[in-house]
């Protein structure tokens, strides 16, 4: 007697064969991409360190492998923190990506892994200022075919990488992206906060100020008479 066909089971198996396999491919690619990021950061840090030692020995360049999902590059007073998310994401269908021929050809191409890059002040880590702020400067999206695009408000990057690439992500492209992020981080200065924003302080904050953890600092905290935050990132 033949086994009866279970349509629900068939649907489940079809979904697993298509979507779940695709997500495994995306996850494998984002790990591969993050490994490339580590290799490029190592090369850039060693190269910059050799040259900056000739300029001024006080300039600190340091690459740190924080863990499987996070690495950091310290450049003078800034830290770029690279964080790989372990999940796979799809874009909202209102996203401009869904208007591209690449996604229309195969919607599975829209699923991506993400590497987030944040900019922190190096002193925030050095002095354990846990309340200090870091800012997302860039997100790198990588799909099942190792194609990528960049989401950022830095014009130099957005202009070149705002749409899915025609070629797989490689070390040369990552080097270009990371160099632009370094330029942005070094260019984006910390401005003095408005007087009224810091004119009040509690006794507890004064007593604990030696550990610098309660007086929050971040590059966006403050103002400039010549540029807004948006102006600063349009480099």
Q: 214 or 158: which carries more pLDDT confidence?
A: 158
- Tell whether the model's pLDDT for residue 232 goes beyond 60: no
The pLDDT of residue 218 is: 62
Domain assignments of the chain as residue spans, ordered by start: 11-233
Average pLDDT, integer, range 156-175: 94
Q: How confident is the model at residue 129 (pLDDT cuts 50, 70, 90)?
A: confident
pLDDT of the residue at 82: 97
Per-residue pLDDT tens for 136-146?
999 999 999 99
What percent of the chain stands above pLDDT 70? 82
Instruction: Tell whether the model's pLDDT for residue 224 goes beyond 60.
Output: no
pTM: 0.83
99 DSSP 8-state letter: G
Task: Please say whether the beta carbons of 60 and 67 come within 8 A.
Answer: no
Please report the pLDDT score of residue 32 as a whole number: 97
**For the chain, where are the E strands, in sequence order?**
61-65, 70-75, 78-84, 112-121, 135-143, 148-152
């Amino acid at each position: 007697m033949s086994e009866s066909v279970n349509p629900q089971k068939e649907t489940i198996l079809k979904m697993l064969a298509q979507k779940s396999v695709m997500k495994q491919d995306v996850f494998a690619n984002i790990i591969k991409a993050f490994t490339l990021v580590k290799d490029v950061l190592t090369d850039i840090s060693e190269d910059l360190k050799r040259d900056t030692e000739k300029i001024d020995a006080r300039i600190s360049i340091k690459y740190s492998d924080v863990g499987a999902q996070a690495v950091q590059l310290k450049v003078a007073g800034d830290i770029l923190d690279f964080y790989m998310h372990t999940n796979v994401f799809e874009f909202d269908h209102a996203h401009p990506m869904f208007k591209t021929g690449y996604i229309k050809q195969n919607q599975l191409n829209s699923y991506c892994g993400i590497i987030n890059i944040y900019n922190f002040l190096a002193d925030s880590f050095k002095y354990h200022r846990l309340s200090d702020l870091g800012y997302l400067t860039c997100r790198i999206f990588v799909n099942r075919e190792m194609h990528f695009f960049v989401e950022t408000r830095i014009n130099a990057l957005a202009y070149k990488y705002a749409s899915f690439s025609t070629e797989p992500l490689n070390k040369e492209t990552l080097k270009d992206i990371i160099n632009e992020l370094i330029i942005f981080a070094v260019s984006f200065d910390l401005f003095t906060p408005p007087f009224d924003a810091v004119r009040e302080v509690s006794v507890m904050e004064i007593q604990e100020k030696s550990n610098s953890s309660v007086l929050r600092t971040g590059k966006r905290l403050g103002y400039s008479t010549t540029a807004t935050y948006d102006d600063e990132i349009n480099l």
